Structure 1
Amino acid sequence: MQEWEICLRLVLSCIMGGIIGYERQMRHKSAGLRTNMLVALGSCLIMLLSQSLYDNVEGKTNADPARLAAQVVSGIGFLGAGAIMKEGLTVTGLTTAATLWVVAGVGIAVGAGFYFAAGVTTGVVFLILWNLSHLDAWVDHDRILSLSIHTVDRAGQIMRISACIEDLHLRSRGVKVRTDEDEADADGERRIYLNFEVYNRSGLKPAFIIDALRQIDGVLRVDVL
């Protein structure tokens, strides 16, 4: 393999990984543009190394050129596990973890010279992530609520709030935490702002949700948008 083709494959893997990573970055996911580019690039490099090693020993031993690539597929799991988060009974990050796994496959495909398959996979993954997420938002628009909660920052407070949300049969789609550094109560406890995006599958009234969350000790204010 000539040097220009090696460079082409490495750069192309970065581009394809970046296309998928761009969508994740726009949605503020844990694994964004740079992560997906690095995964694709590293996978491509390992595939190139595997092919090069095989070419050097071909006919001298029964070495398997796919062995290193197989380790990428299984080894990418540690990144996927880091992208999966559990808050209460809600698990998030599964799509991002699956995306990393697919991006690793795209990198391997480019490294092996399967440009067409890698390109088609990149396009399909981007369409799945971009279009189907819009479809989900359109179908569930009336049942998606944003809960803004101002609460005292205590040990286990987020877990208590998450448990209450689960008891109301609201499915959490994500949570953001913002610390209020300038505000504290009489006991010196810090206050935080929590923003939950939930799916209201039971069609509960916002007033009922607010009353239930206000019953939690330490919760100061609840707004439903």
Structure 2
Amino acid sequence: MAFLQTIQLLPVLDSAFSLFVAFVMGTLVGMEGQFRQRSAGLRTNTLVAVGAAAFVDIGQRLAGDAEAVRVISYVVSGIGFLGAGVIMKDGTNVRGLNTAATLWGSGAIGAAAGSDLVVEAVLITAFVLAGNTLLLPLVTWVERRPVNQARTEARNEVRMTTDAASLPVVRRHLIERLQAAKYPVADIEVVERADDAVEVVAALVSTAVVAREIESVLEALHRHPGITDAAWESSVLE
């Protein structure tokens, strides 16, 4: 009958109020995700907030604030694993990072509610919603601006095609041209192609380039008799 000793009106009401706050705030965050058709929508964010509040509230009731703090650290780790489940990589694109971050925010809302920090839970909810809605026009404006290669951190590669016999001379010529343009080579790879052709791929140390400078290097490479083709490409760093 030990459970009868835990049934006390005021503590139970306190727990109920904490869970209610977590439920309402988690629902607000989840509705925004549901409208945008994210993989973690209304129910997921609500359950994350309620679950976090429940664990923190239980720890606080059993052993006080010190135990609640320790439970919060475990909640943060647990939600981190949950967030990793919604992150998907498709080639060079990574999807789900915003959804995972929102789940993390829902966990913070629940932890605050479970700790009886109701005002803080409301404030966190407001800032999470602001981050997902008010910042959207700013994100759209940034994404629509022309890409400035000189300010973009990326993996930059210069590729050229030659024949096997000309490979040593051509590779040295490529490195010298890039160094003269102040773009030292971090790594160089030789890929065999059909009909005795080989492709030389030079990865640059610099993560930001000036397009006209690289184009000037390519023009010089095209004039070399041993080079049949030359180009460069840039891929965003993850």
Matched with 2:50 is 41
Q: What do the CA deviations read for 1:35-56 (whole angstroms, capped 9, x no partner)?
A: 000000000000111011115x
- The CA distance in 1 between the partners of 2:126 and 2:76, in whole Å, is 20
Unmatched 5+ residue regions in structure 2? 1-9, 147-238
Q: What do the CA deviations read for 1:116-166 (whole angstroms, capped 9, x no partner)?
A: 1111110011011011113323554588xxxxxxxxxxxxxxxxxxxxxxx
SS of the counterpart of 2:67?
coil
- The CA distance in 1 between the partners of 2:124 and 2:68, in whole Å, is 22
- The CA distance in 1 between the partners of 2:68 and 2:106, in whole Å, is 20
Which of 27, 40, 48 aligns to 1:31? It is 40
Unmatched 5+ residue regions in structure 1? 144-225
**Matched ranges for 1:93-172 at <5 A:** 93-138=96-141, 140=143
- The CA distance in 2 between the partners of 1:111 and 1:68, in whole Å, is 11
SS of the counterpart of 2:39?
coil
Q: CA deviation at 1:34?
A: 0.4
Matched with 1:158 is none
Matched with 1:150 is none
TM-score computed with the length of structure 1 as normaliser: 0.57
1:14/1:37 contact within 8 Å kept: yes
2:79/2:104 contact within 8 Å kept: yes
1:50/1:69 contact within 8 Å kept: no
Matched with 2:72 is 69
Q: What do the CA deviations read for 1:5-40 (whole angstroms, capped 9, x no partner)?
A: 211111110110111111111111110010000000
Root-mean-square deviation (CA, aligned residues, Å) is: 2.3
2:86/2:100 contact within 8 Å kept: yes
Q: What do the CA deviations read for 1:156-210 (whole angstroms, capped 9, x no partner)?
A: xxxxxxxxxxxxxxxxxxxxxxxxxxxxxxxxxxxxxxxxxxxxxxxxxxxxxxx
SS of the counterpart of 1:29?
coil
Q: What do the CA deviations read for 1:91-112 (whole angstroms, capped 9, x no partner)?
A: 0111111111111111010010
- The CA distance in 1 between the partners of 2:105 and 2:138, in whole Å, is 22
Change (3 A) 1:64 1:8: closer
Change (3 A) 1:142 1:26: farther
Matched with 1:16 is 25
TM-score computed with the length of structure 2 as normaliser: 0.54
Letter in 1 for 2:44: T
- The CA distance in 1 between the partners of 2:30 and 2:119, in whole Å, is 19
